[in-house]
């Protein structure tokens, strides 16, 4: 049953709620389809409701030039092309894999698993994936597919909470801006790997200091007598790996207040990455869907090769044991559960709006339920598999240096640009393994980056009215977006750029902002729109109702998990510190909170603004502003799927029975 006034539902007095850009389907017998040239709105007759409102083209997509998009416009303006769909459904699967499976799966999950009790960490990880990660992952994909819109217009399902769309746009813009810096650094290391001797393997370069020590191996350390230093003290000395990273790549200054000059070599790598992203995205999902076949699958080939190489190294077994060895006492620590929750939300790419954008290019009847389950399993499975690769190499590194694995275990940039480069210097044919690793790093980040840009552009273009459409609109929009992000990124390739990068990473797309976003998504869909109602919408698309567990999670479990972890993060908040030494000034921390609040405040500010501008009593305002705005594609498929159980027909029961829609987003 459709709970409340929903898709295909008829309710009395609906015509009075009509706003700009909406149409009333009144069902007057014999009425002809009419269109207002000013706003592209239809009034469709009862006879026409029995068939598709938009003539279907190939693969069920609306034919180009049909419907609102193709009727032309006054003054000879260009007709808006129909919304794109994936050429094959596998394009969507690979794009989601490329976006959600990224650097966090390789450099964050294995470290968290080791830190939080080894194999025991999988218990909270799996539980939170079941009650939080998978339900929201499915919610975002199905919502995009149902509404056929990007991250902003998808909330036409409950217009009062459209601030969620603006918040996700802000978050994904921040992510697009700073995430590409990791690709630029990886590209720089990749270029430097094509040499007989790796530049970070030896001292004596212009960027090295007198404290640089090349001794890595335990036997070398034991036989050396450098100012009577012990092996542990030597391990804490300045290695060429650290000096290459800090003095050559970052050219690290003394703090955020000392920006310094641009590093032109890294700037050129950054520019190359943005050019790559542009040409991956500029033609839309037709081109993106092809590129991800390589960028999403080749990292798995490299991971397998690195695993085979890693397990053959001495000490690899010890590293894998440290990775999986269970410490049952950790289950009682709240931090373990918090780490599991934040990792799920990070690795599943929840709250960014990009999953919604990818889902919006699906065919209306695609089985998004099955896709979401498969994608979640691939994501978590990749994280678990990557742990074997990482810790086999870290185990070898610890054995070679004669230190405990806790001395070499790293996460984040420390793993990618310090621990692993140090490990490959101990291997035969070091440049080959270095180039292979950084090429994998580049591909892992590249598809996450360009799908993030795709999600931002989709939401942006959905906002533009049809009357503003122009040729090469998409190409120009992508170019402007990439150029703006590149200009902002210039602040991160200066001597103080790492401090700026950490600000973006710690605040703009932190666990706090993503948890806030996920909490409101569940509340709006489950309690404002209606969980049962949305389950019926999904049944309209895939032909059956998903497992009731999804509805229970959206309504109760997931919001409780999100709010619990959110409150924990706020209560135990610690100011940002770089490398355990540099404390950010008060104005730097204020900038960070401005990044976080710029997205978090979108929801309450938009809600208050809409309520204050509306007319009538508060109950009337709420009822009007929470009434969904449907696209014509909903009525088209409702007519075709009228026999689905629990769905009503489109036939109006009286002259006063109205159905409100807007110009189709297709």
Q: Any known ligand binding at 447?
A: yes
DSSP 128: H
DSSP 457: H
Question: CA-to-CA distance for 590 and 239, rounded, in angstroms?
Answer: 35
Token readout for 48 is 């026409």
Q: Any known ligand binding at 392?
A: no
* Residue of 174, 136, 119 lying closest to 602 (CA atoms): 174
**CB-CB contact of 386 with 110 (8 Å):** yes
Residue 612 makes CB contacts below 8 A (sequence gap 6+) with none
570 three-class SS: helix
469 three-class SS: coil
Question: CA-to-CA distance for 265 and 155, rounded, in angstroms?
Answer: 43
Token readout for 380 is 């978590």
DSSP string, 584-638: PPHHHHHHHHHHHHHHHTHHHHHHHHHHHHS-S-HHHHHHHHTS--B-HHHHHHH
510 three-class SS: coil
* Residue of 131, 145, 256 lying closest to 582 (CA atoms): 256
Question: CA-to-CA distance for 593 and 660, rounded, in angstroms?
Answer: 41
Question: CA-to-CA distance for 386 and 182, rounded, in angstroms?
Answer: 18
Q: Any known ligand binding at 347?
A: yes
DSSP 504: I
Q: Any known ligand binding at 101?
A: yes
**Rg (alpha carbons) of the chain, rounded to whole number:** 27
Q: Any known ligand binding at 448?
A: yes
The span from the first CA to the last CA of the chain, in angstroms, equals: 27
DSSP string, 243-280: HIIIIIIS---SSTT----B-HHHHHHHHHHHHHHHHH
Q: Any known ligand binding at 53?
A: no
Number of Cβ within 10 Å of residue 176's Cβ equals 28
Instruction: Report CA dihedral (180, 185, 188, 189) to the nearest 10 degrees.
Output: -130
* Residue 285: its H or E element: helix 285-295
Looking at the DSSP bridge assignments, the partners of residue 592 are: none
* Residue 24: its H or E element: strand 22-25
Q: Any known ligand binding at 105?
A: yes
Residue 428 makes CB contacts below 8 A (sequence gap 6+) with none
Token readout for 265 is 């070599």
Q: Which residues are annotated as a binding site?
A: 98, 100-101, 105, 347, 379, 444, 447-448
Annotated binding site for Na(+): 98, 100-101, 105, 347, 379, 444, 447-448
């Amino acid at each position: 049953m459709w709970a409340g006034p929903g898709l295909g539902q008829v309710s009395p007095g609906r015509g009075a709620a009509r706003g700009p850009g909406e149409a009333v389907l009144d069902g007057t017998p014999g009425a002809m389809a009419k269109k207002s040239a000013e706003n592209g709105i239809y009034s469709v007759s009862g006879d026409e409701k029995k068939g598709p409102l938009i003539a279907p083209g190939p693969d069920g997509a609306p034919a180009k030039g049909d419907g609102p998009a193709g009727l032309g416009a006054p003054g000879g303006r260009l007709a808006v092309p129909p919304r794109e769909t994936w050429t094959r459904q596998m394009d969507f699967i690979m794009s989601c894999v490329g976006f959600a499976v990224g650097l966090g799966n390789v450099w964050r999950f294995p470290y968290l698993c080791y830190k939080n009790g080894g194999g025991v960490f999988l218990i909270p990880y799996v539980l939170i994936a079941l009650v939080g990660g998978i339900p929201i992952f499915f919610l975002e994909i199905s919502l995009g597919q149902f509404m056929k819109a990007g991250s902003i217009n998808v909330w036409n399902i409950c217009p009062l909470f459209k601030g969620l769309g603006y918040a996700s746009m802000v978050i994904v813009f921040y992510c697009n801006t700073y995430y590409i810096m990791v690709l630029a650094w990886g590209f720089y290391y990749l270029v430097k790997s094509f040499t007989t001797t790796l530049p970070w393997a030896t001292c004596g370069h212009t960027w090295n200091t007198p404290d640089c020590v090349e001794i890595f191996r335990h036997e070398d350390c034991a036989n050396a007598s450098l100012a009577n230093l012990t092996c542990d003290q030597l391990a804490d000395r300045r290695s060429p790996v650290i000096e290459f990273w800090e003095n050559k790549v970052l050219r690290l200054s003394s703090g955020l207040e000392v920006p310094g000059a641009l590093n032109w070599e890294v700037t050129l790598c950054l520019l190359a990455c943005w050019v790559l992203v542009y040409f991956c995205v500029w033609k839309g999902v037709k081109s993106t869907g092809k590129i991800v076949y390589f960028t999403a699958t080749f990292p798995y080939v490299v991971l397998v090769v690195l695993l085979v190489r890693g397990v053959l190294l001495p000490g690899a077994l010890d590293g894998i044991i440290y990775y999986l060895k269970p410490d049952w006492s950790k289950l009682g620590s709240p931090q373990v559960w918090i780490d599991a929750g934040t990792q799920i939300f990070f690795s599943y790419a929840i709250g960014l709006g990009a999953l919604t954008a990818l889902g919006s290019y699906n065919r209306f009847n695609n089985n998004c339920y099955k896709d979401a389950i498969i994608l979640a399993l691939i994501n978590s499975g990749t994280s678990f598999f990557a742990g074997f690769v990482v810790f086999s190499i870290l185990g070898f590194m610890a054995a070679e240096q004669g230190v405990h694995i806790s001395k070499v275990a790293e996460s984040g940039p420390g793993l990618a640009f310090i621990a692993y480069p140090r490990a490959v210097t101990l291997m035969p044919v070091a440049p080959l393994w270095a180039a292979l690793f950084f090429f994998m790093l580049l591909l892992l980040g590249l598809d996450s980056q360009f799908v993030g840009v795709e999600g931002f552009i989709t939401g942006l273009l959905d906002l533009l009215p049809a009357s503003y459409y122009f040729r090469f609109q998409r190409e120009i929009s992508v170019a402007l977006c990439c150029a703006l992000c590149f200009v902002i990124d210039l602040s991160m390739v200066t001597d103080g750029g790492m401090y700026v990068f950490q600000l973006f990473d710690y605040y703009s797309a932190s666990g706090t902002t993503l948890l806030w976003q996920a909490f409101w998504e569940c509340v709006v869909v489950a309690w404002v729109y209606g969980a049962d109602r949305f389950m019926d919408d999904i049944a309209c698309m895939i032909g059956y109702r998903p497992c009731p567990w999804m509805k229970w999670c959206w309504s109760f479990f997931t919001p409780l998990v999100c709010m619990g972890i959110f409150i924990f993060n706020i209560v135990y908040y610690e100011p940002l510190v770089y490398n355990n030494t540099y404390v950010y000034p008060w104005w730097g921390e204020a900038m960070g909170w401005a990044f976080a609040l710029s997205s978090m405040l979108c929801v309450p500010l938009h809600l208050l603004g809409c309520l204050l501008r509306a007319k009538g009593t508060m109950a009337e305002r709420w009822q009007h502003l929470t009434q969904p705005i449907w696209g014509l594609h909903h009525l088209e498929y409702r007519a075709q799927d009228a026999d689905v159980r629990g769905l009503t027909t489109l036939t109006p029961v009286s002259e006063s029975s109205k159905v409100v829609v807007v110009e189709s987003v297709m």
